[in-house]
Amino acid sequence: MTYEGTQGVRVCLDIWHPDCWTLEVTAETSGGLLGHGVHEIDGLANGRFTAYADTATELDRLVEAIRDSPLTESVWETGDVDDETVPGNATRGIVVRYDLGNSINDALVSRGFIPDEPVRMQDGRERWTVLVQETRNTVHERLEEVRDEMDADVRVELITAPESGSGVFRLDGLSERQREVFELARRRDYYTWPRETTAAELAAELDVSKATLLEHLRKAESKLLGDD
């Protein structure tokens, strides 16, 4: 693989793959997970996560579902997480040991996809934001290799240039809902001129009121522009 003359891109991915405990537990419960890295220790994957939910009861159910999953070996807790950028009102740090072969991490990293933000797991899907030193065309070839290796459903949501000042924003400071609304607005060309969609159409797609959608966008834009 050669990178001569290749600038690289930033890619947002929506992923499902089989035999994944993170996807199963987030599909079964109302909570979510942020993944902060996976390391091999004694032949097993050891992943550090932040588990979150709207209530402490829902968070307990999520962690219990992780412990009960036949796809996990063990879970140990690292305590509550005090980070206002994490979605939900209840948060907890955990480390989970599981079969390395069931992780899609190596399939992505070995092909040059380097996580640029915590991996977000919710509603039975994983959302990765990665940097890769490829062109827009060759990135699709690499992802097709990942699909074949892991029998995965990998959807490209956004490809942009990674350098600062290019109109690319870091989204890790947004809440889950703010991020969802902002990314949808960008995908639907809400910020182009002339606009390809309206706030009312975005609100209908998300099943929220127009006023609610605009409030989420306002808060997201304020954080991204450094006004909060």
Question: Does residue 69 sit in the same domain as residue 105?
Answer: yes
pTM: 0.71
Residue 108 domain-assigned (yes or no): yes
Rounded CA-CA distance 210/22 in Å is: 32
Residue 170 tokens, joined: 């870091």
Domain residue limits at 124: 9-160
The number of angstroms, rounded, from the C-alpha of 211 to the middle of its chain's C-alpha atoms is: 26
Confidence of residue 169 (pLDDT cuts 50, 70, 90): low
pLDDT computed for residue 170 by the predictor: 61
pLDDT computed for residue 172 by the predictor: 65
Of 3-12, 53-62, 115-124, 170-179, the least confident = 3-12
pLDDT computed for residue 187 by the predictor: 83
Report for 53-57, 132-136, 188-192: range of highest mean pLDDT: 53-57
Cis preceding-peptide flag for 194 (omega within 30 of 0): yes
pLDDT, mean of residues 143-169: 78
Q: Whole-number mean pLDDT of the chain? A: 86
* Number of structural domains in the chain: 2
Asked whether the CA dihedral 208, 212, 217, 223 is positive or negative, the reply is: negative
Question: Does residue 107 sit in the same domain as residue 190?
Answer: no
Asked whether the CA dihedral 50, 145, 130, 180 is positive or negative, the reply is: negative
